[in-house]
Amino acid sequence: MCSTLGPALDAVRGAGTPAVVVLAPPPPVVSGPLPRADAVGEDGSVSEEQEPPGRLRLTAYAVEQVALVAPLVLLLVAIVVGGVLAAIWVGVPCAVVAVRGLRAVASRQRGVAGRVLGVTLPPPYLHPPSDGLLVRLRTLVSDPMTWRDLVWSLWAVTLGFALSLLVPLLLLGVVTGWFWWFGAGPLMTMRARVDQALLAPGSTERLERRVAALTRSRAAAVDHSAAELRRLERDLHDGAQARLVAVSISLGLAEAQLDDDPAAARRTVAEARTATQAALADLRSVVRGIHPPVLADRGLDGAVRALALDMAVPVEVDGALPGRAPAPVESAVYFAVAECLTNTARHAAASAAWVDLEHGDRLLRVVVGDDGRGGASPAAGTGMQGVARRLAAFDGTMSVSSPVGGPTVVTLEVPCDLVPSPTSVAPASSSPRTTPSCEPA
């Protein structure tokens, strides 16, 4: 029965649950495409193109900040009391709860400051372990952002409170409405600037976390390299080496048969030749596992299209890359796509799959999807975790959306620049399995 892939793919793309971000231990993951390098501020903020809040909304923010002064004072008192009573263990639960409450208020105001300034301020806190109150308290105390929150709370209940209170007072005054019309924006911007300076991580904290992220990704890359070396050693030992040993034995037997039974010697030499060809095939397979020749010759775009031709499931490849990525990035992304398509063929029971390639804003983005049964979990196997570790070495991320019933969509994103190449641009769409699928059974 003849069918085409286009309508089926259009019907399933974009469906599913919100993506579950997997892995790259390194930096915090931002939903959607990664921000441009020139859009990231010194404090880690990400610039956004959005409508600035109007005067009434700014006034609503100011009223909210005024209303939060009383809870902030209570939280400060609870933190002080909990810290004093921590010596007799009574104040530990009180201090932990109070600090968590202060973080909730600070996070809310961090979002308000971001909306006023038109930026996204990423959450700066360390994730506390769940090993008990003492461990949580030690993590909270050692987190520099905890002390920044305390300093911010003192600012918020004093000078910050005065700035925020001034905005609604100007609105309610009979003769001050003109001042409110022109002063609400500057006053709230001033308040937001101070909030941003106190609630966003400083350069020292960002450098420390970046070093920690690089340490983790380097350790993962070293472990992955060691595993690859062990795999190559195993493949050579069990494959090519065993066949070459058989060739050596066959040639020795043929040498012994040459005088007494030339016909048997010729048959033995023929068997040795066959074993040699098999050993060469094993060596080629090992080489392809290291760095496929098609990847070196045609780049990521052409290699993915060649990979799609060999899949049992019809695969449509859309998009084109205007250049070549660095060789290590191409290799990591290629094997990531190969792992995703292999999982589709083995486990998804899919009738169609697709790969979308695109590059923009210094970000290489590859989306691999299928219309299979769904329910894929990166934690269920080591293949997807290995993909995540590969990409983490290049500050890349992998996200998986796979609700039960499908579709499964895996998004791979790696920040990189492309080198223009006249041979790297392929057709905008490739659907190699469409024609065979129309042939009669």
Q: What is the pLDDT along the chain (441 residues), one digit of tens a residue?
A: 333 344 333 433 444 433 334 433 333 333 333 333 333 444 444 444 457 788 899 999 999 999 999 999 999 998 888 878 877 777 778 888 888 899 899 989 998 988 898 888 877 777 666 566 667 667 777 788 888 889 999 999 999 999 999 999 988 876 788 888 888 889 999 999 998 888 887 677 667 767 777 777 677 667 666 776 777 777 677 777 777 888 888 888 888 888 788 888 888 888 888 888 887 877 777 666 666 777 777 888 888 888 888 888 888 888 888 888 888 888 888 888 888 888 888 887 888 888 989 888 888 889 998 888 888 777 666 567 777 777 877 888 888 888 888 788 888 888 888 887 654 444 333 333 333 333 333
CB-CB contact of 424 with 299 (8 Å) = yes
Q: Can the peptide bond before residue 407 be classed as cis, meaning omega within 30 degrees of 0?
A: yes
- Those residues with Cβ within 8 angstroms of residue 54's Cβ, 6 or more apart along the chain or in another chain: none
Chain-centroid distance of CA 314 in Å reads: 27
d(CA 345, CA 380): 17
d(CA 37, CA 434): 40
CB-CB contact of 138 with 129 (8 Å) = no
Instruction: Count the residues in the chain.
Output: 441
Residue 390, pLDDT score: 78
Helix, strand, or coil (residue 113): helix
Residue 384, pLDDT score: 74
CB-CB contact of 60 with 148 (8 Å) = no
